[in-house]
Amino acid sequence: MLFPKPSGFKFYRDSFRYIAVMGMVALLGFIASFINFVRLGLAWHLIIIRALDLITIVVPPALPATLTIGTNFALSRLKKQNIFCISPQKVNVGGKLDIVCFDKTGTLTEDGLDVLGARIVTRDKRFSELLSETSDGFLRPSPSANSEYDIEKQSKIMYAMATCHSLRVVDDELLGDPLDVKMFQFTNWTFEEGGHHVSDQTSPKYDTIAPSVAKPPQRQTGDELDNPLELGVLRSFEFVSNLRRASVVVRRFGDNGASFFVKGAPESIKDICIPGTLPSDYEDLLNYYTHKGYRVIACASKYERKLSWMKVQKMSRTEAESNLEFLGFIVFENKLKPSTAGVISELNEAGIRNVMCTGDNILTAISVARECNMLGRDEPCFIPHFIEAPGISSKTSLIWECVDNPDLQLDPRTLLPINTAETDLSIPGNTLVEREYSVAVTGDAFRWLIDFGNEDVLNKVLVCGKVFARMSPDEKHELVEKLQSIDYCCGFCGDGANDCGALKAADPLVRNLLCSDGD
């Protein structure tokens, strides 16, 4: 962002071309006038003054001043709207804006997410009721899920929420990802950040490393006072966008073993869990919450006995995040900012296209897009699914199905509606007219279209796509560049470090105007 790409605004190029052409005309006039004045026998100083007058007449010196004054008036009008621009010479780009890509969390929605509750896996491999209340740092069990097995699972998911994060303590305040902050505050635990502590001994071999420690609210029972519950973080694997998960290795005070806690996108966690620990209604419950616009985080864990600190440090991430037991879902409620719907409607009225580009679940993104009028309430939205050819293990093609009615599909070659044999065309809404629908794309499908798909299909996705979900920072960056490659003047509005690449690629002035203070 400190070194943005140079702006190629056509207005300035044409202005310099105009000045160059008029300069050539003035030069020819200067030569002709000079020769004519010499023939007339005028004084040399008068000849030079009269010839130079022609240059100032042909090339108006007030032109640059006029452009500067106009730019300053535009800046003053923007300032009245609390919009500040650090690149005044690019202010004219705002008038060319065709499309704006919005991040979701923290930009369209509130900065923080409220924890709605947790759904835990019960003994019969079903999800419990939504547990949204805590007592003494633990979930308050429901009457239908209060067995010893259920309480153990509820404790483990609280351990994951209290330890599996990237928070740091600065001036006695927890700072970090807003989701991690809200999740930890929900537990009511305390967190003491560890670090490297030098011993009083002079030899370096006596140096020690104190782990970060999470503690629940103190209870007054004798057992807890004799054997306090303290969880020390031996090692943490930070969140990686392509894996879409983070994990920690934790040891309880007085225990020789270690517990592994992993949280992340439900699709990612499902792949690394033991299949027998997954409830049968895993996808159904996930779709239920994402359709309603909630953000869902999955948690899993495992335990290994007699695991030394040195072995933990040498352990690979793949080894730590494998053969896990699924614990449950943490459900977050992310409310729209009060001004979001009005801003989107105003941009729509101005003929500026709005696109959502987020790392969240695609169904959650579609729900939020409909809530803020980026998508029409009844507008059909199609999402891609990979299909595999017989005998080929790699993903080979895409099919496009309507989110609300899988019987409605798009032709994968033209992205036009097709009528399948199962579609009853007599039902209103089962017939689509061109341009009365939109598409939503995941990061995996977007990458596949770029690497293996047809260029015409990719361009159509760029033109009619309104939601781009599960996008990594690099894919956000590439989306902006692809939109610019088909002659869109593209702005990007985001508030996180994962948006920096897209912000840098976006047209500079639009980026500076639309980004929040955190950018």
143 burial via Cβ count (<10 Å: 0-12, 13-18, 19+): exposed
**Statement to judge: residues 403 and 464 lie in one domain:** yes
Least confident of 50-59, 128-137, 324-333: 50-59
**Statement to judge: residues 341 and 462 lie in one domain:** yes
Distance CA 432, CA 409 (A): 10
Residue 485 lies in a domain: yes
pLDDT of 9 above 70: no
Which pLDDT score, from 0 to 100, does residue 226 have? 54
Average pLDDT (80-92) is: 74
Across 20-29, 123-132, 200-209, 490-499, which has the greatest mean pLDDT? 123-132
Alpha helices in 104-177 (DSSP H): 148-163
**Statement to judge: residues 175 and 269 lie in one domain:** yes
Average pLDDT (464-487) is: 90
Distance CA 131, CA 19 (A): 71
pLDDT more than 90, % of the chain: 23
Average pLDDT (54-75) is: 76
**Statement to judge: residues 162 and 248 lie in one domain:** yes
Residue 220 lies in a domain: no
The residue that leads in pLDDT, 353 or 515, is 353
Looking at every residue in the chain, the average pLDDT score rounds to 81
Which pLDDT score, from 0 to 100, does residue 482 have? 92
Q: Which of 58, 91, 124 is the last residue of a domain?
A: 91
Residue type for 421, please?
A
Residue 403 lies in a domain: yes
For residue 504, the SS3 value is helix
Tokens found for residue 318: 């793949």
Residue 4 lies in a domain: no
Which pLDDT score, from 0 to 100, does residue 10 have? 65
**Statement to judge: residues 248 and 342 lie in one domain:** no
pLDDT tens digit sequence for 289-317: 988 888 899 999 999 988 888 898 899 99
Least confident of 11-15, 40-44, 412-416: 11-15
- Give the containing element (helix H, strand E) for 346: helix 340-349
**Statement to judge: residues 305 and 176 lie in one domain:** yes
**Statement to judge: residues 103 and 67 lie in one domain:** no
pLDDT of 242 above 90: no
Residue 350 lies in a domain: yes
**Statement to judge: residues 178 and 284 lie in one domain:** yes
Sheet of strand 114-120: strand arrangement? 114-120, 325-333, 295-304, 258-264, 245-252, 231-240, 212-215, 190-192
pLDDT tens digit sequence for 134-167: 888 888 887 776 788 888 899 999 999 999 998 8
Q: Which of 297, 314, 333 is the last residue of a domain?
A: 333
Distance CA 378, CA 370 (A): 9
Q: Name every residue whose Cβ is closer than 8 Å to that of residue 36 and which is 6 or more positions away in sequence.
A: none
Residue 277 has what DSSP assignment? G
**Statement to judge: residues 76 and 177 lie in one domain:** no
**Statement to judge: residues 233 and 152 lie in one domain:** yes
**Statement to judge: residues 30 and 148 lie in one domain:** no
Q: Which of 310, 333, 356 is the last residue of a domain?
A: 333
Count CA atoms within 13 Å of residue 122 on its CB side: 16
pLDDT tens digit sequence for 206-221: 444 678 888 888 754 5
Using 50, 70 and 90 to split pLDDT, how confident is the model at 335? confident
**Domain extent at residue 33:** 10-91
Sign of the Cα torsion 227, 229, 231, 232 reads negative
**Statement to judge: residues 502 and 367 lie in one domain:** yes
pLDDT of 55 above 60: yes
Q: Which residues are catalytic?
A: 103
Residue among 445, 449, 419 at smallest CA distance from 431: 419
The residue that leads in pLDDT, 12 or 204, is 12
The CATH number that applies at residue 381 is 3.40.50.1000
Residue 275 lies in a domain: yes
Residue 205 lies in a domain: no
DSSP 173-232: EEES-HHHHHHHHHHT-EEE--EEE--SSSSGGG-EEEPEEEEPPP---HHHHHS---EE
Q: How many domains are there within the chain?
A: 3
Residue 214 lies in a domain: no
Average pLDDT (411-431) is: 62
pLDDT of 393 above 80: no
